[in-house]
Amino acid sequence: MTREDFYHSRPMTFLQRLVSIGYGTCGCCGMPWNFVRKHGGEHSIMINKYEGFFSVCEYCWTHKSYKQNKSAVTELIKRWREQGGIEYKQNAYINAFEEDWNKTHNIKK
């Protein structure tokens, strides 16, 4: 197990969350954003020139599967919808995820 694997493991991210009350977390590994910034940063997905979002850390974007990353994005969208936001942009967020995944993982359409 590498150092980064250890930092992103469930037991470690659980401990990190205990000391990071109020911070959001990576949708895949659960690492709080204040720790993510010290270990590679978040993976930002741009919808257009002015809007973007992040739901996973860079580690999970490169080390976890398509299915795990898409699940994190759809869960984020679900939470936003429950809070009364982005209903009209849901497809734009999913499309931006698909395009960015294909581009960063060298998948040709």
Q: What is the pLDDT of residues 46-102, one digit of tens each?
A: 888 888 888 899 999 999 999 999 999 999 888 888 887 666 678 888 999 999 999
Instruction: Write down the residue that tokens 């984020």 correspond to.
Output: 76
Looking at the predicted structure, is the pLDDT value of residue 38 above 80? no
Q: For the CA atoms of the chain, what is the radius of gyration?
A: 14
Q: At what angle do helices 66-82 and 90-104 cross, to 10 degrees?
A: 160
Higher-confidence residue of 108 and 86: namely: 108
pLDDT of amino acid 77: 86
pLDDT of amino acid 99: 92
State if pTM tops 0.75. yes
Q: Which helix (H) or strand (E) holds 64?
A: none
